C-alpha cells in the first residue's frame, strides 16, 4: 500500500520493515529512515481507513507510524478488536 499510494520510487521489498518511516533529526537510529513527510502521513491514514476501516487515534499515531512493522501491528490489533 505504501509504495503504490505514495508513489514511492522504490520496490516494496527494498523497504526495511523496521526502518523509521519519517525523518526525525532528534531521533537516533541505526536504520536509515524512509523519508516520508506529514503529507505522506495523511495519505497513509486515509489508505488505512479505506482499506481496513480503521481510524487512527491521535494518541496512538506516533507509535503506530514509527515503521512498517508498527503500522502492521496497529492494524492487526485494531482490526481484531472490530471483529
pLDDT in tens, 33-57: 888 988 998 899 999 999 998 887 7
Contacts of 52 (CB under 8 A, 6+ apart): 75, 78, 79
At residue 68 the predicted structure's pLDDT band, cuts being 50, 70 and 90, is: very high
pTM: 0.80
CATH value at residue 74: 1.10.1200.10
Question: What range defines the domain where residue 10 resides?
Answer: 2-82
54/37 Cα distance (integer angstroms): 21
DSSP state of 3: H
The number of distinct structural domains making up the chain is 1
Cell triple for 28 = 537516533
Q: Which of 74, 6, 73, 15 minimizes the C-alpha distance to 41?
A: 6
26/2 Cα distance (integer angstroms): 24
Amino acid at each position: 500500500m505504501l509504495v503504490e499510494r505514495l508513489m514511492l520510487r522504490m520496490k516494496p521489498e527494498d523497504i526495511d520493515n523496521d526502518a523509521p518511516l519519517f525523518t526525525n533529526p532528534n531521533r537516533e537510529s541505526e536504520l536509515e529512515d524512509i523519508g516520508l513527510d506529514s503529507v505522506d502521513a495523511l495519505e497513509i491514514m486515509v489508505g488505512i481507513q479505506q482499506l481496513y476501516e480503521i481510524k487512527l487515534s491521535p494518541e496512538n499515531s506516533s507509535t503506530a507510524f514509527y515503521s512498517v512493522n508498527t503500522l502492521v501491528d496497529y492494524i492487526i490489533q485494531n482490526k481484531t478488536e472490530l471483529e
